[in-house]
């Protein structure tokens, strides 16, 4: 059975599957943190929420990319991916803290695309910093 996982295609499919499941779990956790329903907002055409969510997906995927490149085991890869996600959640709270003049969640729910874009950029940019630090 283990011989099948030695094949490059199966290894890639396995890592892909693990990362997709992790992204789904992490987005579910992020849904609990926000004060709006992400998927309802996206369904209704809210570009700001789509940008913020897309940034989180890209950020997590980017952290996993670096984690896969620098770790030999799936558990190490998952550990770093999870740690990266936690740091990206902190980015969300830091953004809220750095904008005392308005609430990020409210602005995203109101489809403020400027706030959505900054949220996207913060997630993407800091995912590169997190990824670069993975050993």
DSSP summary character for residue 98: H
Give me the mean pLDDT over the 46-53 stretch: 97
pLDDT tens per residue across span 68-86: 998 778 889 899 999 999 9
Which pLDDT does position 95 carry in this prediction? Answer: 92
Q: Give the Cα separation of 61 and 55 in Å (integer).
A: 10
Token pair for residue 101?
């003049």
Tokens 């770790």 locate to: 71
Q: Give the Cα separation of 79 and 71 in Å (integer).
A: 10
Taking the model in full, what pTM does it have? 0.88
pLDDT at 2 over 90: no
Domain locations in the chain as residue ranges: 2-133
pLDDT tens per residue across span 28-47: 999 998 989 999 999 999 99
């Amino acid at each position: 059975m283990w011989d099948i996982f030695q094949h490059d295609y199966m290894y890639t499919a396995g890592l892909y599957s693990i990362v997709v499941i992790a992204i789904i779990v992490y987005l579910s956790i992020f849904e609990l943190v926000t004060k709006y329903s992400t998927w309802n907002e996206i369904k209704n055409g809210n570009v700001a929420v789509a940008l913020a969510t897309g940034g989180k997906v890209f950020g997590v995927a980017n952290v996993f990319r670096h984690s896969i490149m620098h770790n030999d085991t799936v558990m190490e890869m998952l550990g770093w991916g999870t740690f990266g996600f936690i740091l990206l959640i902190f980015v969300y709270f830091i953004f809220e803290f750095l904008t005392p003049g308005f609430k990020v969640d409210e602005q995203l729910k109101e489809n403020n695309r400027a706030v959505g874009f900054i949220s996207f950029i913060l997630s993407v940019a800091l995912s590169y910093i997190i990824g670069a630090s993975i050993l």
